[in-house]
Amino acid sequence: MMGLLAEIELIIDNLHKWAAPQHVKKNLTTMGDDVYINYEPLGVVLVIGAWNYPLVVVLQPVVGAIAAGNAVVIKPSEVAEHTAKLLEKIVPRYLDKELYPVVNGGVPETTKLLAERFDHIFYTGNTSVGKIIMQAAAKFLTPVTLELGGKSPCYIDKDCDIDIASRRITWGKFVNCGQTCIAPDYVLCDKSIQGKLIEKIKETLKEFYGENPKESQDYERIINQRHFKRVLGLLQGEKVAIGGEHDESSCYIAPTVLIDVKPNAKVMQEEIFGPLLPIITVKDVDEAIQFINQKEKPLALYAFANDKKVFGYPCVQNLGPDC
């Protein structure tokens, strides 16, 4: 919530400048005119939220849309049902329910919303649903903002500081039980450092979550049974170096590191969105780049190296905002 509050404060401090008419350079045809760009609200915006951070992910685009002068239809994720009910209860207390209605429900309700004409649609979630939303928006030529997921790789150079790399990867991967869109999805590293990396991750996990993560108040759970079974299905048949324990009754899956993972394994074919971290060995940064480029463009790339030349590769420069 701190990020959301900071964004609200940023908007309050700067909205008068952002919304002000922007004067532009004149040309021969406009020499005698007062030429400027005047910003206007789009109209009615639909915000469809995600379940992994159900307050922030929904409210951040809502804040921006309201600041720009739009009416907003708010559709929280039905997967995080308690948060969805909370939003339905509290939003009308502070915002005009005619201008900022909260619509709860599942696929049927979302489908009905997408049949309506909006002036902009903002969606956070997976790629398959993103395609459905874009297809529905195309009927009215409605512009969309799609914040989708992907398999965000980590490249660890053999000469980097393994302590720093393992600590940052462990935090980024296992916070919120791996259910973060820019969480490290898999690791590419030289075989010579794989053993040390695993040991350092094991040490860091103990520091973060104690001897038994299941008993830690800081370690979360998979959101529901459906996603628990999906993540567990990705684990089947893989070689476990750390973790692997699970409990269906509480949707618990331990922080898990996998080794000897084949590039065509099931766990490498989709965004994991759970506490499984596959490690794949490569010879060097060139092989790592080749591996990454064979897949869809990820949302983020994490590279750990002491050699600044590694960060000069076009792949590292262009793949994503989080390096």
User: Which amino acids are annotated catalytic?
Assistant: 147
Segments in 119-161 forming alpha helices (H): 127-138
d(CA 36, CA 304) in angstroms, rounded, equals 46
Q: Which of 183, 200, 190 is nearest to 277 (CA)?
A: 183
DSSP strand pairing (246-247 vs 252-253): antiparallel
CA distance 228 to 97: 36
> Would you list the DSSP string of 226-255?
HHHHHHHHHHTTPEEEE---EEGGGTEE--
Rounded Cα gap, residues 239 and 323, in angstroms: 28
